[in-house]
Structure formats: structure tokens, C-alpha cells
């Protein structure tokens, strides 16, 4: 009985040490405070934290804070992918997950060096259809990284923001 209690205490301490970060995109519904006020997202993230035995800090894509200590996962959604990539450069021990990411040309070199050691989900037609996507060569970056074919136009409807958000929901449901 005593060894079982020690085991449970060790597991509890281990889970306190595991930390993950989620960078959200630029939409108003993705502002961290507002995002976490949504019961659907809050319950999903809480269940994910419990199952994965990790703490999860939700940050804005504008967040400039660094992170001390080791990280388990760095998750970047949409415009938050850029900050996730920057943080992953400083934390090579962490798993990098990109969800329907906005990948700039400046991020391409790091991702090419990292090779296949990151998880990718995307792209949505919504993200590829944004006016800034054409200016920033988003599709070109994704093609050069081997994340999509040149003939691909993304999944879902180009005007469907909810399909874009579905990448975030699906990741946390799938890994829950």
C-alpha cells in the first residue's frame, strides 16, 4: 500500500513538471482570455491536460514572453505558429505541433532543418484564401516544405472560419 501511495505521488509530481504551451491565432475569438471563457474550449483543454498529465499555458500570437525550464509540447495554431516555431528553436526538447499554421518564409529554414520532427495538420482553404497568404507566399512555403502539393487548395470551404478552427478542436479531441 505504501509503494502505491509513493507511485501516485511521483506521478503527480511528474505531471506538475511537464509543461506545454499553446499559441493561438489572430482572430478575436482566439484572444486567450476570451478563448478560455468559452466553455467548449475550456473543457476540451482541461480534459487534454488531465489525459496528457501536463500543464498547458495558452498564449497570444503577440506574446513576447520566453519560457524557463523544459517544455513537453509547443503547439502553434494559425498565426500562433510563428511564435511556436520561435519558442521551439529555444526548446529543442519539446515536440512541435503546427495546426493549420501560418508559416512564413523566415520559418521555413528552421522547419527544413528540423526535418520531419514536427507534427503538422493543415492547410485549410480558409487560410490559403486570405489576402495576406498570397502576399506572404504561404502556399509556396508549405509546398517547399513538402506539407502540401502545388495543386492542392486546402480542405474545407474558403469562407469557413469554423473549418479553420476545427483543426484546433480536432487536435485536442484526438489527443485527449
**Measured distance CA(25)–CA(95) in Å, rounded:** 19
Cell of 142: 508549405
Q: How far is CA 113 from the centre of its chain?
A: 19
Amino acid 9: pLDDT: 54
* Parent domain of 113: 2-174
**Structure-model confidence comparison of residues 29 and 176, the more confident one:** 29
Cell of 148: 502540401
Average pLDDT, the chain: 84
Give how many domains the chain has, as a whole number: 1
Mean pLDDT of the 156-176 span: 85
CB 62 within 8 A of CB 82: no
CB 48 within 8 A of CB 56: yes
Amino acid 19: pLDDT: 93
Cell of 35: 478563448
Mean pLDDT of the 66-84 span: 92
State the pLDDT confidence band at 3, using cuts at 50, 70 and 90.
Answer: low
**Structure-model confidence comparison of residues 31 and 175, the more confident one:** 31
Q: How far is CA 50 from the centre of its chain?
A: 18
CB 101 within 8 A of CB 122: yes
Amino acid 65: pLDDT: 86
| Percent of the chain at pLDDT exceeding 90 | 38
**Measured distance CA(155)–CA(152) in Å, rounded:** 9
CB 54 within 8 A of CB 20: yes
**Structure-model confidence comparison of residues 28 and 56, the more confident one:** 56
Amino acid 95: pLDDT: 94
Amino acid 12: pLDDT: 55
Dihedral sign for Cα atoms in the order 46, 50, 55, 59: negative
pLDDT tens-digit map of 115-133? 768 999 999 988 888 877 6
Amino acid at each position: 500500500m505504501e509503494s502505491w501511495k509513493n507511485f501516485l505521488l511521483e506521478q503527480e509530481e511528474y505531471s506538475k513538471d511537464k509543461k506545454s504551451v499553446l499559441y493561438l491565432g489572430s482572430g478575436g475569438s482566439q484572444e486567450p482570455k476570451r478563448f478560455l471563457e468559452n466553455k467548449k474550449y475550456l473543457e476540451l483543454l482541461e480534459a487534454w491536460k488531465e489525459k496528457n498529465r501536463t500543464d498547458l499555458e495558452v498564449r497570444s500570437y503577440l506574446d513576447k514572453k520566453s519560457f524557463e525550464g523544459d517544455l513537453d509540447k509547443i503547439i502553434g495554431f494559425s498565426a500562433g505558429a510563428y511564435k511556436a516555431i520561435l519558442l521551439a528553436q529555444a526548446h529543442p526538447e519539446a515536440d512541435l505541433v503546427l495546426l493549420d499554421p501560418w508559416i512564413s518564409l523566415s520559418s521555413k529554414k528552421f522547419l527544413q532543418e528540423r526535418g520531419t520532427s514536427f507534427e503538422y495538420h493543415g492547410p485549410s482553404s480558409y487560410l490559403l484564401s486570405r489576402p495576406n497568404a498570397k502576399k506572404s507566399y504561404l502556399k509556396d512555403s508549405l509546398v517547399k516544405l513538402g506539407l502540401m502539393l502545388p495543386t492542392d487548395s486546402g480542405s474545407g470551404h474558403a469562407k469557413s472560419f469554423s473549418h479553420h478552427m476545427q483543426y484546433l478542436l480536432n487536435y485536442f479531441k484526438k489527443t485527449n
